Amino acid sequence: MPLGATEDRVIGSLDLQRVLRDGEHAFSPGLLARAHGGVLYVDEVNLLHDHLVDVLLDAAAMGRVHIERDGISHSHEARFVLIGTMNPEEGELRPQLLDRFGLTVEVHASRDVEVRAEVIRQRMAYEADPDGFATRYAADDAELAQRIAAARALVDDVVLPDNELRRIAALCAAFDVDGMRADLVVARTAVAHAAWRGATTVAEQDIRVAAELALPHRRRRDPFDDPGIDREQLDEALQAARNDLEPDPDPPGGGQSANDGAAQQDSSSDAKPQPPQTRPSAPPSKTFRTRALTVPGVGDGAPGRRSRARNLSGSVVAAAEANAPGAHGLHLFATLLSAAEQAGAGPLRPRPDDIRRAVREGREGNLVIFVVDASGSMAARDRMAAVSGATLSLLRDAYQRRDKVAVITFRRQEARLLLPPTSSAHIAGRRLARFDTGGRTPLAEGLLAARALIVRERARDRARRPLVVVLTDGRATAGPDPLGRSRIAASRLVAEGAAAVVVDCETSYVRLGLAQQLARQLGAPTIRLEQLHADHLTRAVRSAA
């Protein structure tokens, strides 16, 4: 399935050629029909648009595809093995679809020099003589194929004892996974692994292998949770299940001292001295649920769940000429109506000139850029904790709504892209947990960095609209004529057409009102730091223009 596939290409649509040529109501099947009984492979599955993810969810859950659109009512079977690859740093997969994958495998490049050298050696040998390379491993391939065939012949005879079944249930309960799909996948995988070993009865070693493949992607309850599975935790869960099934009168001890040692080691590492004028930011405050951030107007960005947009995933709101911009798919009623107007008393025979396209309005994903003042005037523990906590809260909301989020911090003499545009909440959470603070305030550099990021991302995705959230007290103290440079930087950011909001972080008794001045230069609303809560921030962002 190509990333750029349309919904019509995936599920099928009206066979327009037969309608126009023969006047017949015919259905043209899509990729899901072709994948029936085989394998559907999706590269970069985490980058699929939401409306295609919904289609895959329905097909995977029901084993059938139902089409009710453009005057078509059609249903066909679609049972397939779904295989996907992804890079989590480019964005995460929706939990609903991730759960549909029975097993996951994490792939990491080896750091061993000899292993890496051997990979290069083998690759170059293949490129030099592909046929000779394949011949060299033909015997190994044949042996592997024979072993797979033997396992497939044996798998129906493998017995899953009730004792091991209870072990599986206890293991899944210990990891607190939702639903029963994990238990079923572990059981089936353990049976398959036993057959692979040539055994006729499932043993604990089969369950352990199955758990390492089936549970890592099902135990994440929060987008900020670490992925994967802790092998020590898996050992403990298996030991607990073993104790429940076969009570152990003398359980192993010594765990307390190991934990105490780890705690002492952690506390000693925190005592390392920091460079002058620099200290790590305070831990983020508690996250909270936020309401949606929206950009004004109607865009045409990638389908998402944020701002209004014209795209493939929306509902039909109008009909347009065939070559009209922003129109997608066939508007069947308007096409037939146009044909009827030209037909007169004769039979209805639509012509190419009668084709009308559907104008759809749905939701898009946006690029939200947080520009955070990390200078000395902002480094107060409570302020940075509040700013980081609010940013993480909005990031969680962005993950759920399929947005991209970026974070820029500025301090001393420069701005730093702390978090490049990403949809991965886990990666973002790690970056935002701690960052350096202190030093002078290069406000102009922060604004210029936001502008440069917008220009760069617009070259990659012109339709994705940005929203810049500046968190600062408005001071500008770094470099020559800092206030003048800040005004110039603000005007350049405005010229890019980005919506903005300024969060006033000034807390001194006598307020200088510098953040309000910056907001006027950006044409943006201002809110106070003490109002940095979901209701206040969302209301201000929604009014940004």
DSSP codes, 425-442: HHHHHHHHH--EE-S---
Instruction: Provide the terminal-to-terminal Cα distance of the chain, rounded to the nearest Å.
Output: 38
Instruction: Tell me the β-bridge partners of 437.
Output: 279
Concatenated DSSP letters of 343-412: HTTS-----GGG-EEEEEEEEE--EEEEEEE-SGGG--HHHHHHHHHHHHHHHHHHHHTT-EEEEEEEET
SS3 86: coil
435 close to 280: Cβ distance less than 8 angstroms: yes
| Stronger pLDDT, 172 or 511, i.e. the higher one | 172
> Tens of pLDDT along 70-117?
566 778 889 999 899 988 767 677 777 788 888 999 888 899 999 999
Q: What is the mean pLDDT of residues 367-395?
A: 73
Asked if residue 258 has pLDDT above 60, the reply is: no
Closest CA to 387 of 545, 507, 278, 524: 507
What architecture does CATH give domain 147-245?
Answer: Orthogonal Bundle (1.10)
Do 469 and 368 meet the contact criterion of CB atoms below 8 Å apart? yes
Least-confidence region, from 140-154, 205-219, 460-474, 500-514: 500-514
Q: Does domain 7-98 have CATH number 3.40.1350.10?
A: no
pLDDT for the residue 255: 44
Contact indicator for 18, 26 with CB cutoff of 8 Å: yes
What residue segments make up the domains of the chain, in order of their start?
A: 7-98, 147-245, 279-295+366-542, 310-363
Does residue 271 surpass a pLDDT of 50? no
The C-alpha atoms of residue 160 and residue 191 are separated, in whole angstroms, by 7
What integer pLDDT is reported at residue 489 of this predicted model? 93
Superfamily of domain 279-295+366-542 in CATH is von Willebrand factor, type A domain (3.40.50.410)
Whole-prediction pTM = 0.60
Kindly indicate the confidence band of residue 223, based on its pLDDT and cuts at 50, 70 and 90: low
* CA angle (372, 478, 384) in 5-degree steps: 25
% of the chain at pLDDT higher than 90: 26
Confidence at residue 273, expressed as pLDDT on a 0 to 100 scale: 46
- Please indicate whether residue 25 or residue 123 has the higher confidence score (pLDDT): 123
Q: Do domains 7-98 and 279-295+366-542 have the same CATH topology?
A: yes
How many angstroms separate the CA atoms of 12 and 69, rounded?
10
Angle among Cα 338, 317, 19 to the nearest 5 degrees reads 35
Provide the pLDDT confidence category of residue 494 given band limits of 50, 70 and 90: very high
What lies within 8 Å, CB to CB, of 305 at 6+ separation is: 50, 292, 363, 365, 400, 401, 402
- Cβ atoms 60, 94 nearer than 8 A: no
**What was the pLDDT predicted at 14?**
67
List the single range of 27-31, 61-65, 291-295, 474-478 with lowest mean pLDDT.
291-295
Please identify which of the residues 18, 64, 94, 181 carries the catalytic annotation: 181
Q: Computed over its alpha carbons, how large is the radius of gyration of the chain?
A: 29
The tokens for 182 are 């994990």
Judge whether residue 486 has pLDDT over 50. yes
pLDDT at 149 over 70: yes
pLDDT at 269: 42
Give me the pLDDT at residue 510, please. Answer: 65
Identify whether the C-beta of residue 92 lies closer than 8 Å to the C-beta of residue 396: no
What was the pLDDT predicted at 264? 41
CA distances in angstroms from 160 to 96, 168, 170, listed in the order given: 29, 10, 15
Model confidence pLDDT, tens digit, residues 275-290: 445 666 666 666 665 6
- Residue 159 phi/psi, 5-degree rounding, is -100, 135
- In the prediction, which pLDDT does 276 show? 44
Give 310's pLDDT tier (boundaries 50, 70, 90): confident
Other residues' Cβ atoms within 10 Å of the Cβ of residue 508: 8
Strands 526-528 and 499-504, by their bridges, are parallel
Question: Of 328, 327, 332, 316, nearest to 25 (Cα)?
Answer: 332
pLDDT at 155: 95
pLDDT digits (tens, 9 = 90+) for 429-474: 777 767 777 788 899 999 999 999 999 998 888 888 898 989 888 8
Average pLDDT, the chain: 79
Please tell me the distance from the alpha carbon of residue 336 to that of residue 354, in angstroms, as a whole number: 7
Identify the band that residue 62 occupies on the pLDDT scale cut at 50, 70 and 90: confident
pLDDT exceeds cutoff 70 at 25? no
pLDDT value at residue 287? 64
The C-alpha angle 471, 388, 96, rounded to 5 degrees, equals: 115
> In the structure encoding, which two tokens stand for residue 32, read together?
């899901």
Whether residue 218 contacts residue 99, with contact meaning beta carbons closer than 8 Å, is answered with yes
pLDDT value of residue 460:
84
Query: DSSP secondary-structure letter at 275?
Result: P
Confidence of residue 19 (pLDDT cuts 50, 70, 90): low
Q: Is 220 helix (H, G, I), strand (E, B) or coil?
A: coil
Instruction: Count the Cβ atoms, other than its own, within 10 Å of residue 169.
Output: 15
181 catalytic? Reply is yes
Query: For 96-164, what is the HEC assignment?
Result: HHHCCCCCCCCCCCCCCHHHHHHHHHHHHHHHHCHHHHHHHCHHHHHHHHHHHHHHHHHHHHCECCHHH
